[in-house]
């Protein structure tokens, strides 16, 4: 093996790509993580100031890959969730106590997640972070993939057994391997900011459906919340441009006074939203993970959680093949990965897409029906618990990492987390 031969090359060192490297850090596979923007650059697009709601299942995965101890002190627990419809009569409340967990999930800044992942993989001798470097092209030849990259020192050709596309929504890996996509816009843009409310959130997260689109306030620190506020595309720029006072006034009007009077707001950023699903998870010796495989509306905070479950399943398939001395990029490995991920993507993508459509519609009979739906869920604990288990990433039989068990740890037969 020369310096440019790897077992796995991952294109994209964002949240998904770095998580995969961390998941395989103790597996004795040589990994090259090709990333266009260095992880410590302020322009690193995946490690910005958005608050990411981590499902309880994601905490399990981070525990299994040795990242949770680094996150615990910066991740704020979500103990209760309040869902309401502005101008409607329906509401639903969920609490971690009713399902016997200490938290329904956690919120951490994407930047803190990035730091924790880099701290985990930085010292690992089998992982090389190749940055700044961009994918220029690749071709499969026998049981190898030749990968051309544009790096700081010019063009280089690397080779690997398995190429992973973790290069986000506009994935070049996906385009070059010829995997088709299903994509639609929502005509909505998310405006995000960190805000300080007048009252402490006490572990409460709020999801409020407003006429402009969903508004989420998530507990970020004991005194502040992460705001994700959706607007029609044509209104988003003017909302971002509002001065602090006018922004807070508009927010107060949309959200109400459940958290008292808002005191402060930080810098605003906007993200145009769309839905994307790759028609295949893998082709040849190429697998997709994270936003390269699926990009979701942030309404239910599921995008990265789904991507992290891709990571857990792919890492386990690769680790299993390696232990048996098999080819880690063989069709059997990637077919198993694709088969195991199909159901979760269909359920999570479908749930998120339906929520956006149902709650972004002002057609009167539909708005009455959704309020009745919220009340039904609030009154019926079985329905509510099913919904909570799904959004927490819990229930059923699952691979090791989703149960918080390291890849080299003893496997238990019964799990809690859905793959």
Ligand X SMILES: Cc1cc2nc3c(=O)[nH]c(=O)nc-3n(C[C@H](O)[C@H](O)[C@H](O)COP(=O)(O)OP(=O)(O)OC[C@H]3O[C@@H](n4cnc5c(N)ncnc54)[C@H](O)[C@@H]3O)c2cc1C
Residue-wise DSSP of 44-101: -TTSSS-EEEEEHHHHHHHHHTT-HHHHTTTPEEE-EEEEEETTSS-EEEEEGGGGT-
- Chain-centroid distance of CA 234 in Å reads 26
Measured CA to CA, the distance from residue 281 to residue 342 in angstroms comes to 8
- Residue numbers 2-31 binding ligand X by CB under 6 A: 11-17
Binding ligand X by CB under 6 A: which of 10, 24, 25, 53?
Answer: 53
Q: Is 53 exposed, middle or buried (0-12, 13-18, 19+ CB in 10 A)?
A: buried
Among 34, 81, 94, 333, binds ligand X (CB under 6 A): 34
How far from 150 is each of 133, 165, 376, CA to CA, in Å? 5, 16, 55
Rounded CA gap, 294 and 181, in Å?
9
Q: Which is nearer to ligand X, 126 or 134 (CB)?
A: 134
Window contacting ligand X (CB under 6 A); options: 20-28, 42-50, 66-74, 311-319: 42-50
Nearest residue (CB) to ligand X, 147 versus 321: 147
Q: Residue 411 Cβ, how far from ligand X at the closest point, in Å?
A: 26
CB-nearer residue toward ligand X: 367 or 391: 391
In the complex, least distance from residue 70 CB atom to ligand X, rounded to whole angstroms: 18
How many residues belong to the site for ligand X (CB under 6 A)? Answer: 35
**What are the E-state strand segments in 324-382?**
none
Closest by CA position to 359, among listed 85, 17, 64: 85
The binding track of 95-134 with respect to ligand X, each residue x by CB under 6 A or -, is ---------------------------------------x
Query: Nearest approach, Cβ of 190 to ligand X (angstroms)?
Result: 4
Residue 93 φ then ψ, to 5°: -120, 140
Name the segment binding ligand X (CB under 6 A); options: 156-164, 179-187, 290-298, 386-394.
290-298
Which of 77, 90, 213, 290 contacts ligand X by CB under 6 A? Answer: 290
> Is residue 305 near ligand X by the rule CB under 6 A?
yes
For position 329 contacting ligand X by CB under 6 A, the verdict is no
Asked whether position 172 contacts ligand X by CB under 6 A, the answer is yes
Q: Does 168 bind ligand X (CB under 6 A)?
A: yes
Q: With respect to ligand X, which residue has the nearer C-beta, 27 or 46?
A: 46
Q: Tell me the torsion sign for CA atoms 379, 382, 387, 389.
A: positive
Stretch that binds ligand X, among 161-169, 279-287, 335-343, 346-354 (CB under 6 A): 161-169
Q: Which is nearer to ligand X, 152 or 364 (CB)?
A: 152
- The residue among 52 and 405 lying less far from ligand X, judged by its C-beta, is 52
Task: Specify the residue, 160 or 321, whose C-beta has the smaller distance to ligand X.
Answer: 160
CB–CB of 318/29 below 8 Å?
A: yes
Tell me if 135 contacts ligand X by CB under 6 A. Answer: yes
- The length of the chain, given as a count of residues: 419
* Residue 222 in tokens: 């004991």
Q: What single string gives the DSSP state of each residue in 117-131?
A: HHHHHTT-TTEEEE-
Q: How far is the CB of 382 from ligand X (least distance, A)?
A: 26
For residue 95, the minimal CB distance to ligand X (Å) is 19
First to last CA, the chain: 34
Q: Segment contacting ligand X (CB under 6 A): 35-43, 137-145, 255-263, 325-333?
A: 35-43
Tokens of 55: 């499902």
Distances (CA, A) of 141 to 7, 138, 285, 307: 15, 10, 10, 29
Nearest to 68 by CA among 32, 103, 31: 103
Q: Is 36 in the site for ligand X (CB under 6 A)?
A: yes
Residue with Cβ nearer ligand X (150 or 327): 150
CB of 188 to ligand X, least distance (A): 11
Is residue 35 at the binding interface for ligand X, with CB under 6 A as the rule?
A: yes
Which class for 181: exposed (0-12), middle (13-18), buried (19 or more C-beta within 10 A)? Answer: middle
Catalog residues that contact ligand X under the rule CB under 6 A.
11-17, 34-37, 45-46, 50, 52-53, 134-135, 166-168, 172, 190, 192, 228, 271, 290-291, 298, 301-305, 307
């Amino acid at each position: 093996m020369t310096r440019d031969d790897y077992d796995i090359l991952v294109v994209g060192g964002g949240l998904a790509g770095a998580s995969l490297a961390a998941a395989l850090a103790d597996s004795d596979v040589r990994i090259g993580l090709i990333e266009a923007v260095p992880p410590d650059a302020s322009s690193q697009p995946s490690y910005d100031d958005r608050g990411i709601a981590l499902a309880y299942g994601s905490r399990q995965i981070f525990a299994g890959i040795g990242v949770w101890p680094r996150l615990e002190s910066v991740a704020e627990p979500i103990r209760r969730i309040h869902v309401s419809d502005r101008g409607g009569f329906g509401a639903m409340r969920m609490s971690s106590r009713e399902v016997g967990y200490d938290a329904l999930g956690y919120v951490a800044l994407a930047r803190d997640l990035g730091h924790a992942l880099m701290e985990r993989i930085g010292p690992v001798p089998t992982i090389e972070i190749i940055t700044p470097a961009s994918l220029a092209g690749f071709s499969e030849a026998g049981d190898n993939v030749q990968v051309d990259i544009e790096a700081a020192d010019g063009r280089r050709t690397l080779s690997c057994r398995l190429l992973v596309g973790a290069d986000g929504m506009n994935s070049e890996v996906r385009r070059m391997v010829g995997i088709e996509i299903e994509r639609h816009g929502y005509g909505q843009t998310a405006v995000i900011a960190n805000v300080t409310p007048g009252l402490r959130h006490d572990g409460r997260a709020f999801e409020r459906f407003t006429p402009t689109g969903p508004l989420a306030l998530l507990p970020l620190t004991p005194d502040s919340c992460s705001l994700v506020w959706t607007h029609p595309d044509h209104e988003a720029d003017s909302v971002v441009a509002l001065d602090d006072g006018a922004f807070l006034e508009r927010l107060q009007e949309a959200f109400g006074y459940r958290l008292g009077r808002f005191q402060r707001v930080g810098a605003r950023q906007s993200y145009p939203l769309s839905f994307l699903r790759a028609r295949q998870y893998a082709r040849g010796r190429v697998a997709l993970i994270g936003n390269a495989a699926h990009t979701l509306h942030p309404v239910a905070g599921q995008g990265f959680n789904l991507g992290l479950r891709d990571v857990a399943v792919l890492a386990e398939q690769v680790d299993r093949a390696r232990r048996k001395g098999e080819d880690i990029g063989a069709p059997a490995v990637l077919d198993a990965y694709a088969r195991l991920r199909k159901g979760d993507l269909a359920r999570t993508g479908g749930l998120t897409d339906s929520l956006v459509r149902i709650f972004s519609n002002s057609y009167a009979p539909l708005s009455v029906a959704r309020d009745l739906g919220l009340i039904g869920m609030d009154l019926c604990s079985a329905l509510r618990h099913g919904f909570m288990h799904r959004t927490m990433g819990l229930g059923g039989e699952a691979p090791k990492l989703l149960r918080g068990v390291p890849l080299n740890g003893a496997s238990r037969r019964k799990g809690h987390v859905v793959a």
